[in-house]
Amino acid sequence: MITADEVMPLVIAACPSFGAVWDPDENADEGGRILYLDAADFARHVTHLLRTGEQEEVPAVAALIERLHVEGDPYVRELATIGFLESLHPDEDFVPWLHAESRRWWDRLDRFWNGDATALHEGDVP
């Protein structure tokens, strides 16, 4: 099971270009990493890759997000949806890269944003 402390090393392994620009001290406090901020930074980086046609790392990114959904502990599964996918969500260019479980949660985010308050019901959170 993937835990919170394993997330950023996995992100850097999947997307080395992010590791080159990521500041490991930026989104940390005395309590540890603030992974939702890391996820937003990462989503901006992935969006940049998609926009500039630098898509070599995108398949590994999509595979990692799928792994977080499938193999993560409850916190990591929620982070995969609410942190990573929701930050990437405005960018439809990422949709073709999604794997099955990630696509299911992407679609649920669509429903939620379109007014379905039950789409991400707590009992159904990844």
- pLDDT average, residue stretch 57-68: 98
Q: What pLDDT shows up at residue 73? A: 97
What pTM did the predictor assign?
0.91
Task: Tell whether the model's pLDDT for residue 123 goes beyond 60.
Answer: no
Q: What pLDDT shows up at residue 102? A: 97
- Please state the domain count of the chain: 1
Question: ∠106-108-80 over CA atoms, to 5°?
Answer: 50
- pLDDT 10s digits, 4-45: 999 999 999 999 999 999 988 887 777 777 899 999 999 999
- pLDDT average, residue stretch 79-98: 94
CA 111 – CA 126 distance, rounded (Å) = 15
CA 124 – CA 114 distance, rounded (Å) = 18
Quote the domain boundaries for residue 17: 4-124
The residue behind tokens 């950023």 is 8
